[in-house]
Structure 1
Amino acid sequence: MIDQTTIPTPVEVHGADGTAPGTPRFSFRPVDPAADAELLHSWVSTERAHFWGLTGASVEQVRTEHERIAADPHHHALLARDERRGGTPAFLLETYDPAHSVLAGRYAGRHGDAGLHLLLPAPGSADPGNPVTTGFGDPGAADRAGGTESGYSAAAMEASLEHLFADPAVLRVVVEPDARNSAIQALNARCGFRPVERLDLPSADGSPAKTAQLSFCTRSDFAAATGRPADTVAHLSPVRWATANRHLLAKALAEFSHERLLEAVFRDGTWQLDGPGVRYRFQARRYALDHWDIDAASLRCEERAGHPGEAREGGAAAGVGRPGDVDPGPDAGWAPAVPDVQRFVTAFRDVLGLSAAQLPVYLEEIGSTLASHCYKQLHAVATAAELAAGTGDAVADFQRIEAAMTEGHPCFVANNGRLGLGTDDYLELAPETGSALPLEWVAAHVSRTRFTAVDGLDLDGLLEAELGPELRSAFRTRLERACEETGLDPADFLPLPVHPWQWRHRLSVTFAADVATGHLVHLGATEDLYQPQQSIRTFFNRSAPERHYVKTALSVLNMGFLRGLSAEYMDATPAINDWLQGVFAADPELDPGRVQLLREVAAVGYANPLFHAATERDSAYRKMLAALWRESPAPRIGPGEQLATMASLLHTDADGASLAAAYIRCSGLEATVWLERYLDAYLVPIVHCLVRHDLVFMPHGENVILVLRDGAPERVLLKDLAEEVAVLGDRTDLPPGVERLRAEVAPEDHGLSILTDIVDCFLRFLAPLLEREGLVTEDRFWSVVAERLTDYRARHPETAERFDALRLLEPTFRLSCLNRLQLRNNRQMVDLTDPAGSLAYAGDLDNPLSGR
C-alpha cells in the first residue's frame, strides 16, 4: 500500500553519487517517535502531504501516530538518511503487511507481499534548521542549493525497493497511490511496478478514503527495470538449504526404511545405516506399520576418507587420520559430512534401484523439493493454532491453509518435483506461494474437440455462469476476428480454459500448426483470479468462490507423472459423475450429512490429429489440452463452518505442532470423540462403497475436503472422481459410458484399497502426530479405528460376509510401496491401462487393526 503523493516529477538518475564504490547512497533506521517528531511534522503536516492524513497536525499528534506505528508488529516506519550528505534525513519509508491493512480482502494477496509508503519531503525541508544548504541539490550545479536533484525521486524509490527486497521473504511489493497521481504512477512504472486494478479504499489510520491504483513489483520486475540481477531465488540460503536437507533426509530414511529398501541397525543407543563410503546415524521412534519417526536434528552423516562426493563439516579433511597415527578404532578414516539428500540418493542408487537414466531426473526432483522447502521455511509462518482458529472467512481460511502446507504427499520423498517450471513460474504458480492469477482461454475447433456435461447442464449455461456476459462477449468478438483470417465459422468452436504455463510453453509451440491454421485461437485471460491448489493443475476461484474449480492439463513432471489431462478420459467424466451421484443418492448409508460428492460437471478435451495418429493411447501428447469444471465447496457450507483438505491434518508448523491436534483442541472434544466423528464421515463411507458397490476411490488427503465446525468434523466432500475411482469385479452393473471404471483386481486384493490408501498412506502418519502431542496414545488411536469398522459391520449384517472377505481386520496385509514405483520410473510411475499390475510389493505389514 503506497501513497507517495509528495514526490517531484521523476527525471534521469545521475550515475555517480559521491559515495564510495559499492556503498549504498541511502541507509535506513527505525523512526524514533520522540526524537523525530519535529522533523516528520515538517514533512507531513503540509497540504502537499495531505494524503498522509496529518495536514495541520501538531508535533504531538505526529509523535502519537508514530508511537502507534512503532507498536504495530505489521507496520514499520523507517527514516532514510543520505550518506552522501553525511547522513542527513532524506525521506520517510513505511512498510507493512497488506494482510493486516485496509487492503486485506480487497486484492489477491500472496505470500511474500509487502506494502510500501514513501514520502519525499519538499526540497529544502529535510533539515528544518538549515532548509537551504541541505536541500536536494544538483551534484552538477551545487550553487543551486535547495533545488531538486535530477533523478532523486527514482534514486529514493530504487533504494526503498532494494531495502525491501533485501529481505528474502519479500517477493512482491504492493503500492496503491491515489489514481489521480500520474507523477507517482510514472515513477512506479519506471521502477518496475505493473498496474493491476483500481480499488475504492476506505479511510484507514487517519488517511482519507480514495480511489487507488493498485500496482505490483516483483523481484524480476525490479531487476528488469533497473538493470539489477534478478534475485528470484533469495530463499535459497545456506542455512535454509541445510535445514531442508536435514528434513528431507530424515523423511527419505524413514520412508525408504518403511518400504524395506534400507535396513538400519540399532547400535550403541543410535540407529546406523551404512552405505558405499557413507554412513548415517540418527535417533528414531518406531510406530505401528513399521513407521519411522526420525529426529532430523539428530542426523549425523559421515564419509570415509578418500571417498569422493560429500562436503565435509569443518574443512575438506576434518577428522581424517594421518599416516603414522595410532589406529583409534572402528571410526578411523571417517569424517563428519553435511547432510545432503542428493548425495545420499547417489550413494544408495543401486540399493534404491535407480537406473542410469532415472538417477539424474530423480536428483533433479529432489533438488526441486529441497528448494520448495526453503521457500516454505520463509513463508509458511502461521502456527497450527492460528490456522485452525481461522479468521471467520471460511473461503479465505480454506485457501490460506492450502498455501500454508509444507509437506506435500506424506509418502513420497520427491514430492515437489514440478520439473519444467522456472523460478518465475514457481513464484507465480506453486501452491505454497498463495498466488492468485487469471487463467488463459482458447477456442478449439469442434472437429478436434468434444464437450460433455452432466444431465441438465449445457455449454451456454456453463460459460455464462463461469465467464459472465461481458467477458464472454469479448471472447466471442476476438474469435470472430480470428476467423475472418481463416474462413472458419466461429460457431464451430468450443471455448475452454488452459493453464497459463501450458499455453506459454507447450500449446503455443507444440500445437503451433493448430494456432497458425486457426483451429486453436487464443482468446485471452479471465477477469477472475484463481489460486493453484496443492494438486498444482487445479485452481480455486478466489474472485467468485461459488464458481467451479477448474482442472487443467499441465505438461510438468511431478511425482511420477507428467500432469496432463486425457482428452479421452474427459469424454466420460460427466457420465461417471452422474452415475456416482445416483449411487450416493439411492444409498441411505451415504448420508449427505456425512459425505457428499463434488461433481465434475463438465469436461472438454482436444485431440490434435497429427499427434493422435503418431502416438499410443497413453502418450503425454494426447494429454496436452483438456479441462474440467468441478463443483466448488463454497456453496456447500453454512455459517460457522470451516473448510480444509484432509491432507492439511498432517501439516506441522515450525514448532512441530500439527493442524490435526490444533483442530481437536479447538473443538473442545475428547480426542477419541473427535476421531470417531472424523472416521464416521470419512473412513466408514469409503468402506461401505467397497462393501456394497465394489466401488473404490483414491481417498488420499487432497481428494477429501473436511467440513468442520469449531474444529470438529461435520462431514466430508469427496473430489477428483472420474480419474481416480474404479469398480472392482463384475458384481455391479455399469451403464454405457461408465464401463471404463471396471477394473480386474484379484478378490484377495480388494481390501488393499482401504489398507494401503487409508491405513498405511494416511492414518499411519496421523496416529504418531496425535500421540506426540499427548492427545491419544497410538494403541488407543488404532482401537478407535477398528471400533468404527466393527460397528459398521454390526449395523449391516446383510453384508458381513463381504466385509469379512476384504480382510480389513486380519493380522497382516501386503505392503504396497509408492516410492519404489517412482524410483523405478519417475516419468510414468504406473501403467494406467493396468494400474493394479504396476504395483510394487515388499512383504507384509502387521495390521494394527487386528485383534481389537
Structure 2
Amino acid sequence: MWRECSAALLAKAIGELCFEELLAPVGGVPGGETGPGRYELRFDDAVYAFSASRTAFGGWAVRPGSVRRGAAGILGDDVVEPCDDVQRFVVDAFRSLRVDPATTAGFLAEVTSTLAADVALAETARPVSELVALPHAELDGHLTGHPWLIANKGRIGFSAEDAARYAPESRTPLRVPWLAVHRGLAEFRGTSSLSEAAVRAHELSPGTIERFTEALREAGADPAAYVWLPVHPWQLDHVVRTLWAPELALGRIVELGEAPDFHLPTQAIRTLSNVDSPGRYQVKLPLRVLNTSVYRGLPPHCTLAAPVVTQWLQGLWESDKLIGEWGTSLLGEVASVTVRHPGLSRAGEVPYQWLETLGCIWREPVPLRPGERSWSLAALLHVDPEGRPLVREFTGSHDPSVWFAALLRALFRPLVHFLYTYGITFNPHGENVVVITDESHLPVRVAVLDLVDDVNVSVDRVPARGPEPDTDDPVLPRKPWPVLRQYIVDALLVGVFRPLSTLVDLPADTFWGMVRGEVDAYRTRFPELADRVDEGSLTAPEFLRFPLNGYRITLGYRDLAARPPVPRTGTLPNPLHDVPPIAPRDGW
C-alpha cells in the first residue's frame, strides 16, 4: 500500500509543481523524443519521464504509475527504472531548484506525514457506493484532503500517536475538555441574541454545568469570575499545561474536566462536530500545529470579531431576496472566547503561533430539513481505491448537466452575487462550503463557513453593504476588484472545479460553458453593475497565479510575526474566457 500511495502522491507532486510553473516539462510532441502525452523533467542529477494530460487553467494530470527516473549508474551507464518514491523526487527537484536544504527538510517531513496519512486512509478505504450514504461528520473522515496542496496533511507538531487519535482519517470520536479562565484574561462575545449563559446551556447539560461549577468551587474559585470554554485535548496537553502553567498554578485557569458528548474532527482538523448532539454548535479550537501552510491557531482579532461580523453578514444575507430564493445560508460564528497570553501579548513581534494558543469560536450547525443530507464540498473530489469518483454516486440517475446546474445555482450564483452587489467575497474551498441535497443527492442549497477568517471586502465603498462592523478597528481585509475575485478563482474555480471537471461526466466545453453562462447571465441581469463585473471579471483571458505549494517552498519554515500573503507569480489561462456560454436552465 505504501508504494501505491507514494506513486499517487508523486504524480500529484509533479502535476502541481508543473501547474505552478516551478518545474518546466519538455516533450509531449507527436513524433518527438518523448511522444504524445509523454513528458520529461530534467534535473541536475536525474531525469523524470511521465505520462500526463493537460487540464483547465494550464493544469497537469499526471498518471500514477507512469513515472520513470533516469540517472547515472555506478558503472557510468544510464539507469532508467520505474519510480514511485515521492521523497526521492522532492530531494531531486529541490536540489535542482536550489531550495534551501532546511526548507527541503521541512517540506520532506510534511510530505512524509501526508503519505503516512494517505496510507492509513487507503488501508481503511470504503467504496464510494458505501460512502454516499454516510452522515456528513463520518464522511469527512474518509476524504483525502486539499486537492492542490501536495503536503496537505503535514501536521507538524503531531506525533504518530496524535495523528491516530486526532486526525480526521482516524475517525476516532473524542471528548472535549473544558477550562474556566479568569475574566482578567478571557473575554466572551456573542451575537445580540446570545449571552454567555445561553451558550453554556446550549452546549452543556445541567448535570455537566453543575459538575463544572463544583470543580471551580473545589479549586477555591468564584464561578462568576470565570469564562468557560472548550479546549482541544492535544492543545491542553502540549500547550496549555506548559505555556500557561503559571496561570494554572495560580488558579487563573482551572481545568473543569471533559464534557460527555463525543466529537469528530472535520477536514479542517481544528474544527470539531458534535456527533452525540448534532444540534449543538461546531467548535473551532486552536492547535499549535503547522498544517496546509500555516499554524492552526485562532488569532485574537478573529475571535473578538467573529460574532459581530456574523451578525452583519447574516443581516445582509437574510435581507437579500435573491439569496432567499436560492436558499443558501451562512453558518454563523455566533459566539467566541478570546484569551490573550499575559506575557507574550506584550512582548512585541513574537511569532504569531505563540499568540493564538487559547480561545474558541462556536459555529452554528448545518440546518437540515426532513429528507435532506449534507457533505463538504471537498467530497466532490473524492476517488476511491478502484478509481471511482464519489461525484458519480451523487449524480446517480440525474443527467450530469442537470445536477451540475443545480450545484451552480446553489453555490456559484450566490458567490457571484455577493461579490458584485456587495463587494464581499468568501473563501469557498472544499472545507469552507457544505452542500445540502435532497434525498436523490440533487444540490438544493449550500452553507458557507469561516465568516471572519476568510471574508474580504472591496476597497471601494459599496452602499449596499451599509455600515461595516470593523470600520474603526479593521479586521476584514480590503482588496481591489481584480484581487477580490481571486478568492472565487483560486478557492472554487481552480481549487475545486479544475479537478471536478475531470471527474464529473460532462465534456469540458459543457462544464466550463455552464459556469460561463452563469457569469454572463448575471451581467445581463444587472447592467448597473457592469463596471464592477468588468473590473473584477471572471471571464478575463487570464488570472493571477498564487502558487500555494511555491509559497511554502519560497517562504521556508522560519517563524514569522504574521501570516504572510501568498506571492503572485505570473498568470493562468482562463477556460471561461473563450468557451461558448451555456445559459442557465432556470432562465436566470
How many equivalent residue pairs?
A: 567
SS state at 1:568 partner: helix
Specify the alignment match of 2:90 in structure 1. Answer: 345
Deviation at 1:572, TM superposition (A): 1.1
SS state at 2:537 partner: coil
Contact 1:822–1:829 (8 Å) recurs in 2: no
Specify the alignment match of 2:151 in structure 1. Answer: 414
Structure 1, residues 481-533: CA drift from partner, whole Å, max 9, x if none? Answer: 11x2xxx5332111100000000111101111111111111111110000011
Contact 1:301–1:336 (8 Å) recurs in 2: yes
Contact 2:41–2:47 (8 Å) recurs in 1: yes
Specify the alignment match of 2:401 in structure 1. Answer: 672
- For 1:84-233, list aligned pairs within 5 A: none
Specify the alignment match of 2:538 in structure 1. Answer: 808
Q: Distance in 2 between matches of 1:424 and 1:593?
A: 44
Specify the alignment match of 1:277 in structure 2. Answer: 45
Deviation at 1:769, TM superposition (A): 1.4
Q: Distance in 1 between matches of 2:187 and 2:480?
A: 35
Structure 1, residues 537-583: CA drift from partner, whole Å, max 9, x if none? Answer: 10000110000001101011111111111223211110000000011
Match of residue 817, structure 1, among 527, 543, 547: 547
Specify the alignment match of 1:268 in structure 2. Answer: 34
Specify the alignment match of 2:432 in structure 1. Answer: 703
- For 1:424-443, list aligned pairs within 5 A: 424-443=161-180
Specify the alignment match of 1:356 in structure 2. Answer: 101
Tell me the amino acid that sits aligned with residue 112 of structure 2. Answer: G
Tell me the amino acid that sits aligned with residue 420 of structure 2. Answer: V
In the superposition, relative to structure 1, how do residues 827 and 590 fare at CA in structure 2: closer, same or farther (>3 Å)?
Answer: farther
Gaps of 5+ in 1: 1-239, 307-319, 322-331, 391-395
Specify the alignment match of 1:753 in structure 2. Answer: 487
Q: Distance in 1 between matches of 2:242 and 2:310?
A: 34
Q: CA RMSD in A?
A: 1.9
In the superposition, relative to structure 1, how do residues 592 and 362 fare at CA in structure 2: closer, same or farther (>3 Å)?
Answer: farther
- Which structure: larger Rg? 1
Query: Percent identical across equivalent pairs?
Result: 32
Deviation at 1:593, TM superposition (A): 4.1
Contact 2:87–2:112 (8 Å) recurs in 1: yes
Is 2:273 the partner of 1:543?
no
Tell me the amino acid that sits aligned with residue 412 of structure 2. Answer: L
Tell me the amino acid that sits aligned with residue 717 of structure 1. Answer: A
Deviation at 1:335, TM superposition (A): 4.5
Q: Distance in 2 between matches of 1:358 and 1:509?
A: 28
Match of residue 722, structure 1, among 432, 448, 452: 452
Contact 1:561–1:828 (8 Å) recurs in 2: no
SS state at 1:296 partner: coil
Deviation at 1:299, TM superposition (A): 1.6
Q: Distance in 2 between matches of 1:478 and 1:843?
A: 58
Deviation at 1:752, TM superposition (A): 2.0
Specify the alignment match of 2:142 in structure 1. Answer: 404
SS state at 1:842 partner: coil
In the superposition, relative to structure 1, how do residues 291 and 830 fare at CA in structure 2: closer, same or farther (>3 Å)?
Answer: farther
Match of residue 841, structure 1, among 568, 575, 587: 568
Q: TM-score, normalised by structure 1?
A: 0.64
Deviation at 1:828, TM superposition (A): 7.4
Tell me the amino acid that sits aligned with residue 330 of structure 2. Answer: L
Deviation at 1:823, TM superposition (A): 1.4
Tell me the amino acid that sits aligned with residue 687 of structure 1. Answer: V
- For 1:598-747, list aligned pairs within 5 A: 598-616=331-349, 619-633=352-366, 636-665=367-396, 668-709=397-438, 710-732=440-462, 733-737=466-470, 740-747=474-481
Q: Distance in 2 between matches of 1:279 and 1:409?
A: 28
Q: Distance in 1 between matches of 2:90 and 2:540?
A: 35
Specify the alignment match of 1:763 in structure 2. Answer: 497
Deviation at 1:743, TM superposition (A): 2.8
Q: Distance in 1 between matches of 2:469 and 2:410?
A: 31
Is 2:307 the partner of 1:570?
no
Tell me the amino acid that sits aligned with residue 513 of structure 2. Answer: S
- For 1:352-391, list aligned pairs within 5 A: 352=97, 354-381=99-126, 383-388=127-132, 390=133
Q: Distance in 1 between matches of 2:412 and 2:96?
A: 35
Q: Distance in 2 between matches of 1:799 and 1:261?
A: 37
Which of 508-517 and 584-593 deviates more? Answer: 584-593
Match of residue 196, structure 2, among 453, 459, 462: 459
Structure 1, residues 136-155: CA drift from partner, whole Å, max 9, x if none? Answer: xxxxxxxxxxxxxxxxxxxx
Deviation at 1:372, TM superposition (A): 0.4
Contact 1:532–1:539 (8 Å) recurs in 2: yes
In the superposition, relative to structure 1, how do residues 467 and 540 fare at CA in structure 2: closer, same or farther (>3 Å)?
Answer: same
Q: Distance in 1 between matches of 2:248 and 2:293?
A: 30
Structure 1, residues 747-771: CA drift from partner, whole Å, max 9, x if none? Answer: 433332222222122211110112x
SS state at 1:281 partner: strand
Deviation at 1:476, TM superposition (A): 0.6
SS state at 1:706 partner: strand
Specify the alignment match of 1:84 in structure 2. Answer: none
Contact 2:415–2:426 (8 Å) recurs in 1: yes
Which of 811-820 and 613-622 deviates more? Answer: 613-622
Specify the alignment match of 2:212 in structure 1. Answer: 475
Which of 739-748 and 498-507 deviates more? Answer: 739-748
Q: Distance in 2 between matches of 1:430 and 1:693?
A: 37
Deviation at 1:414, TM superposition (A): 0.6
Gaps of 5+ in 2: 28-32, 581-588
- For 1:786-801, list aligned pairs within 5 A: 786-801=516-531
In the superposition, relative to structure 1, how do residues 333 and 350 fare at CA in structure 2: closer, same or farther (>3 Å)?
Answer: closer
Contact 1:479–1:490 (8 Å) recurs in 2: yes
Contact 1:442–1:495 (8 Å) recurs in 2: yes
Structure 1, residues 267-306: CA drift from partner, whole Å, max 9, x if none? Answer: 3322111112122111111122111111112121233224
SS state at 1:254 partner: helix
Q: Distance in 2 between matches of 1:251 and 1:748?
A: 29
Deviation at 1:338, TM superposition (A): 4.0
Specify the alignment match of 2:330 in structure 1. Answer: 597
Is 2:255 the partner of 1:255?
no
Contact 1:605–1:627 (8 Å) recurs in 2: yes
SS state at 1:298 partner: coil
Tell me the amino acid that sits aligned with residue 439 of structure 1. Answer: V
Greater RCO structure (CA 8 Å; 6+ sep): 2
Deviation at 1:831, TM superposition (A): 8.0
Tell me the amino acid that sits aligned with residue 699 of structure 1. Answer: P
SS state at 2:101 partner: coil
